[in-house]
Structure 1
Amino acid sequence: MPNAHYSINFRHDIGLMDVAWHRFFTADDVGPYADECKVRFVTEGFKPGYLLRMDMSESAVQPQEAVAMFRTHFDGFPHARRIAVVTASAIARMQVRREMTQPYLRIFGTADEAMAWLMEDGCVPV
């Protein structure tokens, strides 16, 4: 069932979890979203070392209450090999850099740029 806040798609051919946020989250929205991410990740048969594209281009900067809930609900989520975040907002970029400190994360202005980086250097699993 589609969700107004986000979409989650899995591309098994390239090991990609492809997430798009369509608006900001409230603190109460984060738990159900995290639960769906976790259930779908397992159901789709994904494992640590996947690729993750998070397209935040349609969402605003997240409220601090929601950011705190993201920290709580995604603690222990399986690690990606590369994370590409998409946003053109300078403020959202600052928020992502503050909250997501993984050295394998990059921020891009477009979904296509993000995908190109995810696919380079033989990052696609065999």
Structure 2
Amino acid sequence: MYRIDFRHDLNLVDIRWTGLFDGPSVDAYADELIRRFREEGFAPGYRLLMDMSGCSVQPAEAASAINRRLGSFHRASRIAIVTASAITRLQVRRFMTQSYLRIFACPDEARDWLAA
């Protein structure tokens, strides 16, 4: 469903989604991300990589629930989203309006941009 890695060497939260979320999985995901962010000692200004290439567009209810749960989460300095799906790009743009967000089709390009 998802994987969350904290890369201290890059000040990077590296997230990969591999399935569709529902109510319980949204709660589990948000709870784990918030808890581990604190435990790992991360702070605002980190970089975020979200690879969504392993799943299709999220159900509208799940996307809204994720936005509600994490809408006030600690601010990143850069956000890179990976997806080749035009529909997923639209969904990301609807919920994530940060000026420091870029969407990429290729994970390597996203990582290069985050590290620049």
Task: Output the TM-score relative to the length of structure 1.
Answer: 0.90
**5+ unaligned residues in a row in structure 2: which ranges?**
none
Aligned to 2:51, which of 48, 55, 61? 55
Amino acid at match of 2:10: I
Aligned to 1:93, which of 46, 71, 89? 89
What is the CA RMSD across the aligned residues, in angstroms? 0.7
Aligned position for 1:105: 101
Moved over 2 A (4+): none
SS in 1 for 2:9: coil
Aligned position for 2:110: 114
Aligned position for 2:6: 10
Give distance in 1, aligned partners of 2:72 and 2:61: 20
Larger Cα-atom Rg:
1
Task: Output the TM-score relative to the length of structure 2.
Answer: 0.97
Give distance in 2, aligned partners of 1:88 and 1:102: 20
Aligned position for 1:28: 24
Give distance in 1, aligned partners of 2:62 and 2:40: 26
Give distance in 1, aligned partners of 2:65 and 2:14: 21
Amino acid at match of 1:7: R
- After superposition, give the CA deviation of every residue in 1:60-90 in whole Å (9 maximum; x if it has no partner): 1000110110121103210000000000001
